[in-house]
Amino acid sequence: MMQLAVVGAAGLVGQSVLELLAQRQFPAERVFAVDGPEHEASTVSYGNLELDIRQLDEFGFENVALAIFVAGSDVAREYVPQARAAGVTVIDFSDAYRLDAEVPLVVPSVNGDQLQDLEAGALVAAPNCTVTPLAMALRPLLPLQPKRLTVATYQSVSGAGQKALEELAEQTTALFSQRESENVVFEKRIAFNVLPQIGALDEDGMAEEERSIVLELRRLLQQPQLPIEASAVRVPVFFGHAWAVSLEVAADIDLVQVRNRLVAAGLQCVTAEQHGGYITPMEATGNDGIWISRLRKTANTIQFWLAADNVRVGAALNCVLVAEAMYKAGVFE
């Protein structure tokens, strides 16, 4: 039995990681919840237990075999090297290492072979929560020879953290009460609105989130030249992301075959007769499904609507699945 630490345990993703570790009975003798000074004297739930939050700047990484970092890129850049220097294997859910050629970027059902031959002290990056479900939906369709991907994302505010949830709630209440409200997390009001830019723009006019989708998807799918057009939009939804996907392929399209490929890969494919014909982000929240509906084709283009819980499935679950795969591979022995 091993010991592990969850760094960023008080955040939305950190709490979900702890919940999943307990639910899936990850074989850890002890789990440490670690976070910054703002969470001193706080606790978080781990199954039926309450864990005291350990202070990151005082935590001894030599006590654990695995650290799951879900605390953001600044924390990762400072503390991941310290953890690895202590011999700790690290899974990092931040953008600090996702495009580092020396660090595998992994979704086990997409490119789990990247976890082969890893040794203790290795670092594995986990993709953006917008990228992971999309990559899992596209992986079964690669044999159809993709030529171009066009995707629009509809991203809930939980992707921006706890303060973003509070801002949406406060603005919504203020509007109903005919009070003024402030924009702190988002530059413009998010309540009853949509914001067609997530992150700063680069010199080409592409937003940070859109660039992440393009670069991380190409790396995960091992399709470095695939043309990808991405538009990322923040919507006034608390939890659950959605994607409108259009994939042009070279092969002839048989929708029955496409559906069979998706189902065989573990995706939830909803027909027109089920669930009213489509799944919304609200319905996708709180479960481990990656839901595909509105599946159709136009000429050589496959189109579908995708929905998933961004915190649980897009972020936390993938970190736990990577940990499980590494454990089975004997990395921690």
**Any catalytic annotation for residue 241?**
yes
CB-based contact 127:108 (threshold 8 Å): no
Q: Which residues are bridge partners to 153 per DSSP?
A: 232, 243
**Could you say which of 129, 269, 275, 319 is catalytic?**
129
Tokens coding 259: 């559906």
Handedness of CA 67, 68, 71, 75 (dihedral sign): positive
48 in Cβ contact with 18 (< 8 Å): no
Distance CA 135, CA 105 (A): 12
- Which residues on neighbouring strands pair with residue 77, listed in sequence order? none
What is the secondary structure of 179-228 as a DSSP string?
A: -----SSSSS--TT--BS--S-B-TTS-BHHHHHHHHHHHHHHT-TT--E
156: which 2 tokens? Answer: 């809930």
For 56-199, strand residue ranges (E) read 66-69, 89-92, 123-125, 146-155
Using alpha carbons, select from 327, 287, 315, 321 the residue that is nearest to residue 14: 315
Note if 269 is an active site residue: no
Of 241, 269, 275, 319, the active-site residue reads: 241
Q: Which two tokens stand for residue 118?
A: 């890893």
So which residues are the catalytic ones?
A: 129, 241
